[in-house]
Structure 1
Amino acid sequence: MGKLAYFLTLMLLATAVQVSFGASGYVNLGTSAPPTTIGPFSVTPFNTAPQSAIPDFTTVTSIPGDPRGGTLTSSAGLNKRTVPGSWAT
């Protein structure tokens, strides 16, 4: 195998292999309000005031009140429910 073919084979393999790292775990949060931390991660609640203007059972693709500022968006439609009125548990 020539040097060029060897080099191209190595480059092809290097671009085909990707490494990703992530953390996953399971914590049973029950049906009460979420805690302020889950393991080492902080949980920041959304501002629910702008969400109260959206009627229950409405399908939305944007959720106002993102704690980082702006609006959280979804490509799939999400059905808005409010505890305890339209979502019991």
Structure 2
Amino acid sequence: MAKARKGEENAIAGWLEYGAALNEGAAKFTDENGVQNDRAFGEWISDNLSEMANEHEQVAAMWAAAYPDELAQLLVRLRQVWGMTWVFRKPALRLLG
């Protein structure tokens, strides 16, 4: 389980780094009024970030990098839900097995 947890931590760290890079890039294409040039930003992504994620993953990574405290709270809640799911699924697996 420790290896799985370490893999999860590495994956999250990777997404946070990716999101931070996207946020830095987005800032380069935002004018003084806060308006972003989406076309130029998209071209920058294509030119600079070879490992492309889909648009939804990019937005999620950008949000996670901008709000790491909220992400940490969300992950705690998700782990609780996963744990509860396993508790309820375990008796059903015994019945099937």
Report which of the two structures shows the higher radius of gyration computed on alpha carbons. 1
Query: What is the TM-score with the length of structure 2 in the denominator?
Result: 0.23
Pick the structure with more helix per residue.
2
Query: What is the TM-score with the length of structure 1 in the denominator?
Result: 0.24
Pick the structure with more strand per residue.
1
